[in-house]
Amino acid sequence: MYGRNGEAPVPVVAPRTPADCFEAAIEAARIALTYRTPVFLLSDGYLANGSEPWRIPETDGLPDLRVRFAQGPNHTLDDGTEVFWPYKRDPGTLARPWAIPGTPGLEHRIGGIEKQDGTGNISYDPANHDFMVRTRQAKIDGIDVPDIEVDDPDGASALVLGWGSTYGPITAAVRRLRTAGESIAQAHLRHLNPFPSNLGAVLKGYDKVVIPR
């Protein structure tokens, strides 16, 4: 969640099975392209070395991940001059516009040094730095992720919560407990940053929450 320099949080998507890696990668790409941010696809050795049957999906059923690149100026200066501001963000996603390198009139600075909001000029101003840090966090916090689903057929008082490749062992353990007559609920996280908006309410609905290590 905090694995990048520059005080820049990053979204984290965790697949649960070898077959789920495809869907998780699609979801990571959706987030990356929609919000213009790197995304960590949190796989692990268990998934990398595992295998299971997987039906190749029809391409017509895959989400449209095409990107709309900037085509011209997006800001007007006080003197009426139209210019391209590479840090003029989308108000809904806080994503910056993308311009294909070499597009006439859309040239701008790139690199790791912090930029001024809007113009994209190099900035060492502390107030701008504070604003950009908060904006980066707000962008990640605002990512639209689906609610977490809970498998709870009997209204259990205990919930087992996991993420990643723990899905297999947790599911097997829950199945054995239910076969033995125990009432137990199960939920599995795909989005680790940001969390699903209903996660807090789900956890508060159980007397005990078990997170296997």
Reported as a single tens digit per residue, the pLDDT across 65-82 is 999 999 999 999 999 999
The whole-model pTM stands at: 0.91
Please provide the DSSP assignment of 58-77 as one string: PGGGS---------S--EE-
Q: Using CA atoms, how far apart are residues 208 and 184, in angstroms rounded to an integer?
A: 10
Question: Do 49 and 109 share a domain, yes or no?
Answer: no
What's the CA angle centered on 35, arms 34 and 39, to 5 degrees?
A: 100
| Among 114, 142, 170, residue at a domain's last position | 142
Lateral strand order in the sheet of 158-163? 150-151, 185-189, 158-163, 208-210
pLDDT tens sequence for the chain (213 residues): 666 776 789 999 999 999 999 999 999 999 999 999 999 999 999 999 999 999 999 999 999 999 999 999 999 999 999 999 999 999 999 999 999 988 999 998 888 788 999 999 999 999 999 999 999 999 999 999 999 999 999 999 999 999 999 999 999 999 999 999 999 999 999 999 999 999 999 999 999 999 997
Number of domains in the chain: 3
For the chain, the straight-line distance linking the first and the last C-alpha, in angstroms and rounded, comes to 19
Q: 187 near 149, Cβ under 8 Å?
A: yes
**133 and 80 in one domain?**
yes
Calpha distance 3→159 (Å, rounded): 29
What domain range is 48 assigned to? 12-61
Q: Which helix (H) or strand (E) holds 109?
A: none
* 99 and 155 assigned to the same domain: no
User: By three-state DSSP, how is residue 91 classified?
Assistant: coil
Mark whether 77 and 136 lie in a shared domain. yes
43 shares its domain with 96: no
Residue 5 lies in a domain: no
In a domain, 134, yes or no: yes
Q: Is residue 7 part of a domain?
A: no
Asked if 136 and 154 sit in the same domain, the reply is: no
Same domain, 115 and 55: no
90 residue type, one letter: D
Q: How many CB atoms lie within 10 A of CB 143?
A: 18
Strand pairing of 82-83 and 150-151?
Answer: unpaired
Q: What is the pLDDT of residue 6?
A: 65
57 prior amide bond cis, ω within 30: no
Together in a domain, 159 and 136 = no
pLDDT of residue 60: 93
Same structural domain for residues 110 and 165?
Answer: no
CATH number for the domain spanning 182: value is 3.40.50.920
Q: Which residues contact 178 (CB under 8 A, 6 or more apart)?
A: 184
Strand 185-189, strand 158-163: pairing = parallel
Q: DSSP 3-state assignment of 115?
A: strand
Question: Is residue 196 domain-shared with residue 177, that is, in the same domain?
Answer: yes
Domain final residue pick, 89, 117, 142: 142
Pair 100, 115 in one domain: yes
Q: Is residue 4 part of a domain?
A: no
Tokens 């998507």 found at: 13
Q: Return the beta strands (E) in the chain as ranges.
A: 12-13, 40-41, 75-76, 82-83, 150-151, 158-163, 185-189, 191-193, 208-210
pLDDT at residue number 109: 87
